[in-house]
């Protein structure tokens, strides 16, 4: 299942438009803050499909029956662009344990590149709900590799894969390579084009550079 949040009118579309805006992008603090706010929106939407149980809460005047999360999801992200987006989820799921995956592009002399997983710090995920987020889902290769790295540490009950902006081709790649698993895709917006270097068009550019400065 793929959920595209921009298909309905909400403040999410305002934040995505600011992420795309070349003038607003010059303010890296605002760029990171918008990613964080979007993480919170996605966290709220995903929270609606998690498992709850009713518990009694003692107030000063009586007892209230309140639906409470049975278990907080594990939050996972791909370094480095995913960090501010991940923080938005952590602001809502503040009792969650976390996982971090480092992926990088290895460029080859013929102009092509491959995606490599360099490092993963993963908490216990066996039988748990997992949210794996990254800002962009372009070719889909890094997301699939990150997911495969995660599941070497245990089998989640269900995994929610989240991206702010996705490419049509990347979505199809992810669906094809994890079709048999218990996975739901959540994206903010879907763009049709992608460059030879796997940058989404119109997209928003290199999210990691915009958030933290250009890498060398």
Give residue-wise pLDDT tens across range 92-132.
999 999 999 998 766 556 666 667 888 899 999 999 999 99
pLDDT at residue number 105: 67
Coil, strand or helix: which one is 7? helix
95 within some domain: yes
Q: How many domains does the chain contain in total? A: 1
* pTM more than 0.95: no
59 within some domain: no
Q: What is the dihedral of CA 139, 13, 23, 25, to 10 degrees?
A: -50
d(CA 1, CA 4): 10
Taking each helix axis as running N to C, give the angle between helix 11-20 and helix 28-47, from 0 to 180 degrees, rounded to the nearest 10.
150
Integer CA distances (angstroms), 94 to 62, 87, 120, in order: 27, 10, 21
Which residue from 58, 44, 85 is spatially nearest to 208, judged by alpha carbons? 85
191 within some domain: yes
Coil, strand or helix: which one is 82? helix
Q: What is the CATH number of the domain that holds 28?
A: 3.40.50.2020
199 within some domain: yes
Residue spans of alpha helices (H) in the chain: 11-20, 28-47, 82-92, 141-151, 168-177, 207-212
62 within some domain: no
Domain range for residue 178? Answer: 2-49+71-205
Assess contact for 202 and 191: CB atoms under 8 A.
yes
Pair type for strands 74-79 and 98-107: parallel
pLDDT at residue number 118: 85
83 within some domain: yes
Which residue from 134, 142, 135 is spatially nearest to 173, judged by alpha carbons? 142
Residues lower than pLDDT 70 in the chain: 105-114
pLDDT at residue number 110: 67
211 within some domain: no
84 within some domain: yes
């Amino acid at each position: 299942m793929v959920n595209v949040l921009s298909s309905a009118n909400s403040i999410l579309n305002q934040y995505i438009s600011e992420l795309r805006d070349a003038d607003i992008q010059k303010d890296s603090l605002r760029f990171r803050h918008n990613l964080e706010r979007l993480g919170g929106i996605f966290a709220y939407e995903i929270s609606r499909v998690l498992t709850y149980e009713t518990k009694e809460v003692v107030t000063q005047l009586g007892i209230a029956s309140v639906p409470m999360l049975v278990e907080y999801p594990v939050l996972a992200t791909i370094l480095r662009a995913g960090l501010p987006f991940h923080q938005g989820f952590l602001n809502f799921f503040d009792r969650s344990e976390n996982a971090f995956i480092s992926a990088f592009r290895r460029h080859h002399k013929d102009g092509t590149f491959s995606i490599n997983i360099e490092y993963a710090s993963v908490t216990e995920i066996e039988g748990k709900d997992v949210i794996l987020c990254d800002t962009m889902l372009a070719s889909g290769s890094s997301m699939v590799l990150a997911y495969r790295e995660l599941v070497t540490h245990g089998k989640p009950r269900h995994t929610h894969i989240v991206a702010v902006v996705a490419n049509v081709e990347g979505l199809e790649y992810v669906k094809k390579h994890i079709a048999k698993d218990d996975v739901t895709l959540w994206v903010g917006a879907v763009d049709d084009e992608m460059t030879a270097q796997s940058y989404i068009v119109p997209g928003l550019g290199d999210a990691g550079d915009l958030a933290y400065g250009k890498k060398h």
